[in-house]
Structure 1
Amino acid sequence: MNLNNKFKRHLQQGRFFDKNKRVVVAVSTGVDSMALLSLLQRLPETLRPQIVVAHVNHQLRKQSKEEEQFIRHYCSEHNLQLVVHQWPVAEHPTTGIEEAARKMRYHFFARVMEQEQASILITAHHKNDLAETMLMKLTRGGQLPQLIGIEEQRAFANGKLVRPLLAFSKQQLREYAISNHLKWYEDETNQELTVSRNRFRHRVIPLLEAENPNLLESLSSYHEQLELAVELEDQFAKEQLEKIADENGHLNLRQLLQFPLAKERLILVKWLEWSKVTNLKQGFIEQLLADINNRHLPQFSRQIASNLVLFKNYSELFLKNVNQLPQKAQTSINSVVKLGRWYSIGNDYQIAVATTKSFFGKTADYQEMWLAPEQLPLRIRRWQDQDRLPLKNGGHQRVSRVLIDQKVPLLERNQQLVIADAKNNIMWAVGRKWGWFTRPDDYLDQWQRLVIGIRDLKRRKE
């Protein structure tokens, strides 16, 4: 069966597009893309889509201008619509030009799709490209989905990107081009061994093919198996996340830790991916798993993206946008306490210090305190590592230990306030625990009585 018929059958099986679709075809004038364009043109009318050719003149080689003129002539001769983009030399970066060129190309293709109201971009990636990508990914390491290499179809711009030639080898495309007298241009840079892909293409793959002449078929088979495995993994992860994640997307830590480590890793990675956190390095994921499973580390936070922080909080895992972290109002509190004034603790509570219980009425819980003259004025501030509460037995307890014992979530712990006296002795870890001050026999004559209260704003609204 010749390649035209194989291509037609493959399209019918893959359901990439139909004759009613308007498609953008990326054509570089290399043998692969010229073969692709010819195969599309020769499809029967019942399968042939409406073709818009997109070509980029990178202005990286002397023959770039000649290639542009060739594709203009070809499209004119075959009555094909053509859109050309010239990449000005002034915009070429001094380093990383391969990646910059790739980004530029796909940005251009997306723009053409929008302008031409096309829903599909078609590229000429083939079975050799797939093999090279899979081996490069395998060598670098990473997550299983990356090992798939190149997807036959994926979402792109306002539609999708399809690669209908992945089932065919470079040799098949070259033989087709020769037998059909197609003209194409060779990119000299494809021979440069300073480029990683070229080294795999010209050195690694030939060595592997010497061991296994059917290497491309084997890798293509693995590609299909991996796609199925990843699909099943996604389904498994989705089912488990529906069970262990609440309506806010927080993961139940106890339930997560019941899974074997491999499944726990899978669920964690999928949870992060569905939260738009991708491309995390393997080492980072393994360290994250170790910290999650560390029972001696009940709480921690890790910045996992420029705008996201992951928190482990005793019983759950959750993500917070950095702009949502409650830092500004609380961290700025560090002032002398004025009697009879309410101080806000976030959006939910207020505290005050007064001279009488009547100030609080029925709106607050309060505690009576007697203080020596040298303990005044009081100060309200955020707690510090060295802060300790005096205890009745004459000892002290660190505020940090109080927060740990009461299992205060990390986000709340960072915002914990204390009231300290003029000597910086901690009187109260606000809302958590009171300090104890031993009073002399004549304290009624020498000391001042104060009342410290706290009220729940949510309860008041109810």
Structure 2
Amino acid sequence: MEKFYTLIQKHQLFEKDSTVIVGVSGGPDSLALLHLLVKIKEKWNLKLVAAHVDHMFRGVQSEEEMLFVLDFCREHQITCEAKQIDVTAYATKHNLSSQVASRECRYDFFKEVLDKYESSSLALGHHGDDQIETILMRMVRGSTGKALAGIQLKRKFHNGYIIRPLLGYTKEHILTYCRDQQLMPRFDPSNEKTVYTRNRFRKYVLPFLKKENPLVHERFQYFSETLLEDETYLQVLTKEHMNTVLKRKETSAVEIDIDRFKSLPLPLQRRGIQLILNYLYGNIPTSLSSIHIESLLTLLSQDHPSGSLNYPGGLKVIKSYQNCLFTFEQDEVKEYCFDLEIPSVIILPNGYKITCELIKNDSIESIGNKSFLLNPKTLVGPLIVRTREQGDKIKLKGMNGRKKVKDIFIDEKVPLQSRYSWPIVEDGDGNILWLPGLKKSIFEAENGSVDEYVVLHYKEL
């Protein structure tokens, strides 16, 4: 397997004089990988550490596999870190499937070993057949972007990299190597159960592809590497353009300008959405697919000014006029009703405040929609600041009759998520006096008509 060493050097998987942690289950793939690395151990001055996890799924059988790995390492003078983990208990505690729980426990252990030996390289035994299965599974599931490239030869992990030197080889290559070297690996019977998706691809799809092209693993590997190169370039472009689209970026919420977003080429739009989802989720749920991205693109392209989508994990995407908000902040704004004393300051749940004070006529500055004047002699108290109610109407300045507050929100393009917390000021007779920042009623006093005013101000905190 001269190609094995050439691949390591070509892709700079690790350097000479390195400490390499090798994930070893005792199966043919990981055992062959460890054996191949042992062959260059002295020449490359490598320190090898085998890391084995007994998931305790199969009782005595899995424990025997752990003992086999320990014996193999002793025979070849390799340091071995082995750990038994009750994955079933972990899965139950965290409400996870056995496969997801196994992966989390295993990779957490790998991180511990990497730290203990101050290593930046974790070598795993994934091979060319695994690559084919992974790419096909992700295509069928509707994955997008880098995920479609399948298994990477080298990717960042913890404080270093995961490396996979066997991706150029098929399972048959590895089994032949094990027979030639008399390695006697162990076989996990669960790999034959068709209850698992991967095993069904392995049993029913892979043989057909190999029959069509015995070197199909090389074609899939080429597809993976070139797709990853293209995707990396497009990701750089997307990040550059998304900086002009973002309006707000917080821990649990991102807001974008829809018009600017729609001006981007469609490939960058898709990747822009993916960047936002990666940022908000951290780890993308497996239930999220290309269908969700296409649904959002459809929503943003429609003429209707508002709409929303519910994504997995409690993420909500809300379109409102020219803004699109991605948010986990699902808590409904509670209704509020405050008495507004003269003078006083009220802190509002929407991040604003309303101040109320008595001011002499000669001290009043220009008045816009964020301020409101009242004549203290004709004011009917108490002043109330509250959230909107069904059927709210206001008598607007310069307009006959009354207008629905709901229609004003629509006309002023107030985002849907802001309407429920928007303050409304009314007097003791129940007249709506003012929609702060938006509209005033006919009940506002004329500037200069009296010596003293009650002045209300609407300001951001």
Residues 360 and 452 of structure 2 are in contact (CA less than 8 Å); yes or no, is this contact kept in structure 1? no
Is 2:122 the partner of 1:121?
yes
Matches of 2:146 and 2:25, distance apart in 1: 28
Deviation at 1:379, TM superposition (A): 2.0
Tell me how far 1:412 sits from its aligned partner: 4.7
Letter in 2 for 1:415: S
- Is 1:402 aligned to 2:408, yes or no? yes
Is the contact made by 1:29 and 1:71 (CA closer than 8 Å) also made in structure 2?
A: yes
Pick which of 98-107 and 403-412 moved more: 403-412
Deviation for aligned residue 1:12: 1.2
Give the superposition deviation at 1:13.
0.8
Cα distance in 2, alignment partners of residues 130 and 282 from structure 1: 21
Unpaired stretches in structure 1, ≥5 consecutive residues: 440-447
Give matches, 1:293-442, under 5 Å.
293-297=301-305, 312=319, 314-317=321-324, 322=329, 333-345=336-348, 349-352=353-356, 357-358=359-360, 361-362=363-364, 365=367, 366-369=372-375, 376-391=381-396, 393-409=399-415, 412-436=418-442
Aligned to 1:189: 190
CA contact (8 A) 1:353 1:453 kept: yes
Assess, with a 3 A threshold, how the Cα gap between structure 1 residues 192 and 22 changes in structure 2: closer, same or farther: same
Question: TM-score, with normalisation over the residues of structure 2?
Answer: 0.83
Task: Give % identity.
Answer: 27
Q: 1:341–1:309: structure 2 CA closer, same or farther, 3 Å change rule?
A: same
Cα RMSD, aligned residues only: 3.6
Q: CA deviation at 1:17?
A: 0.9
- Write the deviation string for residues 40-61 of structure 1: whole angstroms up to 9, x where unpaired: 0001634352101111223333
- 2:9 aligned with 1:12, yes or no? yes
C-alpha spacing 1:60/1:44, structure 2 compared with 1 (3 Å) = closer
Moved more, 378-387 or 7-16: 378-387
> Does the residue aligned with 2:187 lie in a helix, a strand or coil?
coil
- Alignment partner of 1:100 is 2:107: no
Distance in 2 (CA, whole Å) between partners of 1:336 and 1:89 is 57
Partners of 1:259 and 1:411 lie apart in 2 by 26
Q: Which range is displaced more, 67-76 or 171-180? A: 67-76
Between the aligned partners of 2:138 and 2:35, the Cα distance in structure 1 is: 31
Amino acid at match of 2:299: D
The alpha-carbon distance between structure 1 residues 310 and 223, as it changes in their structure 2 partners (threshold 3 A), is same
Specify the code of the residue in structure 1 equivalent to 2:42: E
What is the SS of the residue equivalent to 1:182? Answer: coil
- Secondary structure of 1:453's match? strand
8 Å contact 1:364–1:453 — kept in the other structure?
no
Displacement of 1:411 in angstroms is: 5.7
**CA 1:192–1:321: 2 relative to 1, 3 Å:** closer
CA distance in structure 2 between the aligned counterparts of 1:390 and 1:38, rounded to whole angstroms: 84
Q: Distance in 1 between matches of 2:247 and 2:43?
A: 49
Question: In 1, distance between residues paired with 2:245 and 2:86?
Answer: 52
Task: Report the AA paired with residue 282 of structure 1.
Answer: S
Structure 1 residue aligned with 2:141:
140
**Unpaired runs of 5+ in structure 2?**
none
Instruction: Please list the CA deviations of residues 72-91 of structure 1 after superposition, one character each: whole Å capped at 9, or x if unmatched.
Output: 22211211111111124773
Distance 1:89 1:208 in 2: 35
Q: Indicate the SS of the match to 2:360.
A: helix
Closer, same or farther: CA 41–71 of 1 in aligned 2, 3 Å: same
Query: Which range is displaced more, 67-76 or 56-65?
Result: 56-65
Contact 2:292 2:311 (8 Å CA) reproduced: no
1:282 matched to which residue of 2?
290
2:83 alignment partner in structure 1: 85
Equivalents in 2 of 1:269, 1:351: separation in Å? 42
8 Å CA contact 1:19–1:50 kept in 2: the answer is no
Change in Cα spacing, 1:371 to 1:266, as seen in structure 2 (3 Å) is farther
What's 1:50 paired with? 47
The residue type paired with residue 8 of structure 2 is L
Please give the secondary structure, in 1, of the residue aligned with 2:437. coil
Decide whether aligned partners of structure 1 residues 37 and 266 sit closer, same or farther in structure 2, where only a CA change above 3 A counts: same
